Amino acid sequence: MINLKIIFFILGVLVSVLSLSMIIPLALNFFVYGSFYVFFSSFLISSFFGFSLILAFRNNDKKIGVNDTIIVTVLSLPVLCFFASLPFYFDHNILKFSDAFFEATSGLTTTGASIYDNVENLSLGLLVWRSLIQWLGGIGIIIFAIAILPILNIGGMQLFTQDWKEKDFDLHYRSKELAKLVGIVYLSFTFFIFLCLWFLGMPAFQAFCHSLTTVATGGFSTNNNSIAHYNSLPIELTIIIGMILASLPFTLYLSTFKKGIQAFKDAQVFIFLILILFFTLALSSWNYFQSNLNFFVSLRIALFNGVSVITGTGYSTANFSSWGSFPSALLLIMMLIGGCTGSTTGGIKIFRIQLLYFVLIKELKKINSPRSVFSSNYKNQVINDDIINSVMVIILLFLGGIFVISLIFYMYGYDFITSVSAAITSICVVGPGLGNIIGPEESFYTLPSNLKIILSGAMIMGRLEFIAFFVLLLPSFWRQK
């Protein structure tokens, strides 16, 4: 039976945590500008709703079932996006709530798409808030990916439970322990990136904001031209390392406590790094031969922007949408693939591409030897039909969502590259799109409000891997006792 008390209690806790995080930008704006209305009013509204839910639905019985977890998962992100949008809406730079909701959704889903044409005009508090919600969204997504999805058997994620075999359905204990360990690693990465950027000459405030958005692979920057503002190779290399580290499975970092460096002998990591190398060489070669750029310059911009796109971070040092049709096609493929599972990245994920490859090889062997019996293994586990079906459903939902949103944009009169890139960048939570309207040097401000709402919904559904939403539509889900 669905436990509404625990559902509303958890939502209250999440909203309360979000409201308390508003104290940081509130204090910053107060001490720098003497202004506190934007964040103080947002804090009062959010904390009132959050703590009211906690007090109204607190219960000694904290047990939560699988169905309750699915409902919390589906409700939590849009609810948090609503309250996270309040500071943007109360600020004078935004007039429509759809714009504020889009910016907040892009932040919490770690997408990085923005409606601001000039972020350098924003207050320090808002700049910190943009970075902070991406940081909070990043750690939330990691816990969601390695603690919740495997138990719900969504999209093949059950293959990643072998290192965490506590009580199968004791989600409270499981999430608590994982959150603590992930938090240690996440904070360590953030602090390390901050120190490196600060040491390399980036101002402390900007280093702090970029450390938050790098480890979250979010991509919000304090500058209009993103990382190109610094024109510093050491800073770019530091951020590249940070993006890659955040795109690897955090379960591997946790496994190093027991297995040491051996934990990184992982096929998914190897394939991810090989793809980065391949796409970087392809993009740099194209720019070298077609644009007559210096080879080192070509390699530099291809490496940074390529890693930023495939990790779904969204930083940029060049207008990669103007590189030509071939690089645009490669960049769209990179957006779609994404990074490793159990990380802050979006997209279909490397391991699902691996599973598709295993299925393809298995079917080819069957054609060659119809009477033989073949099986495929991943992480020493047999890939059964349930896992294959689950992965296929996720991939079809991703592709179907991209098709629908692209079609809607096309019906509004947008060109093909804008329509497709808007769909992929939102569903795969990448950030900037391609073309002259939503490219890396542009913003999403000019889009109609209803399209911004549609893209906000796409970011939420893509971030939560679609299928949890559709489970709620099944009558049998609500009949279960």
| Measured distance CA(298)–CA(281) in Å, rounded | 9
Q: In sequence order, which residues have a C-beta less than 8 Å from that of residue 407 and are 6 or more positions away?
A: 419
Residue 439 Rama label (left phi>0; alpha psi -120 to 50; beta): beta
The pLDDT value recorded for residue 163 is 45
Is the Cα torsion angle 219, 222, 225, 231 positive or negative in sign?
negative
pLDDT band of residue 165 (cuts 50, 70, 90) is very low
pLDDT of residue 454: 96
Average pLDDT rounded to a whole number, residues 342-353: 88
CA distance 68 to 61: 13
The pLDDT score that the predictor gives to residue 256 is 77
On the question of pLDDT at 417 being above 90, the answer is yes
Distance CA 422, CA 371 (A): 46
For the segment 257-291, what is each residue's pLDDT rounded down to a tens digit? 667 676 677 888 899 999 999 999 999 999 998 88
pLDDT for position 273: 93
Give the per-residue pLDDT at 156: 53
316-346 b/e with 16+ CB inside 10 Å = b?
bbbbbbebeeebbebbbebbbbbbbbbbbbb
CB contact at 8 A, 253 and 185:
yes
pLDDT at 464: 84
Share of the chain above pLDDT 90, in %: 57
Most confident stretch, 72-76, 129-133, 151-155, 470-474: 129-133
Task: Quote the Cα angle for 318-323-324, to 5°.
Answer: 160
Q: How confident is the model at residue 175 (pLDDT cuts 50, 70, 90)?
A: low
Rounded mean pLDDT of 458-468? 87
Q: How is residue 351 written in tokens?
A: 């391991």
CA distance 137 to 160: 21
The CA distance from 383 to 133, in Å, is 37
Q: Are 160 and 150 in contact (CB under 8 A)?
A: yes
DSSP lists the bridge partners of residue 377 as 382
User: pLDDT tens digits for 204-221?
Assistant: 999 999 999 999 999 999
Spatial neighbors of 214 by CB under 8 A, at least 6 apart, are 193, 239, 242, 243, 246, 313, 315
* Beta-sheet pairing, 381-382 with 377-378: antiparallel
The answer, yes or no, to whether residue 317 has pLDDT greater than 90, is yes
pLDDT digits (tens, 9 = 90+) for 73-132: 889 999 999 999 999 999 988 889 999 999 999 999 999 999 999 999 999 999 999 999
When mean pLDDT is compared across 31-45, 192-206, 259-273, 398-412, the lowest value belongs to 259-273
Q: Contact 216/106 with Cβ under 8 angstroms?
A: no
Q: What is the pTM of this model?
A: 0.91
pLDDT tens-digit profile of 380-389? 667 777 778 8
**Residue 173: band (very low, low, confident or very high) from pLDDT cuts 50, 70, 90:** very low
- Mean pLDDT, all residues of the chain: 87
User: What does the pLDDT read at residue 416?
Assistant: 92
For the cut 50, the answer to whether the pLDDT of residue 391 exceeds it is: yes
C-alpha dihedral (53, 56, 62, 64), degrees to nearest 10: -60
Higher pLDDT, 259 or 15: 15
Q: What is the 3-state secondary structure (H, E, C) of the chain?
A: CCCHHHHHHHHHHHHHHHHHHCHHHHHHHHHHHCCCHHHHHHHHHHHHHHHHHHHHHCCCCCCCCHHHHHHHHHHHHHHHHHHHCHHHHHCCCCCCHHHHHHHHHHHHCCCCCCCCCCHHHCCHHHHHHHHHHHHHHHHHHHHHHHHHHHHHCCCCHHHHCCCCCCCCCCHHHHHHHHHHHHHHHHHHHHHHHHHHHHHCCCCHHHHHHHHHHHHCCCCCCCCCCHHHHCCCHHHHHHHHHHHHHHHCCHHHHHHHHHHHHHHHCCHHHHHHHHHHHHHHHHHHHHHHHHCCCCHHHHHHHHHHHHHHHHCCCCCCCCCHHHCCHHHHHHHHHHHHHCCCCCCCCCCCCHHHHHHHHHHHHHHHHHHHCCCCCCCCEECCEECCHHHHHHHHHHHHHHHHHHHHHHHHHHHCCCCHHHHHHHHHHHHCCCCCCCCCCCCCCCCCCCCCHHHHHHHHHHHHHHHCCCHHHHHCCCHHHHHCC
Identify which of 434, 415, 255, 448 has the alpha carbon closest to the alpha carbon of residue 332.
434
Token pair 């589906």 is found at 74
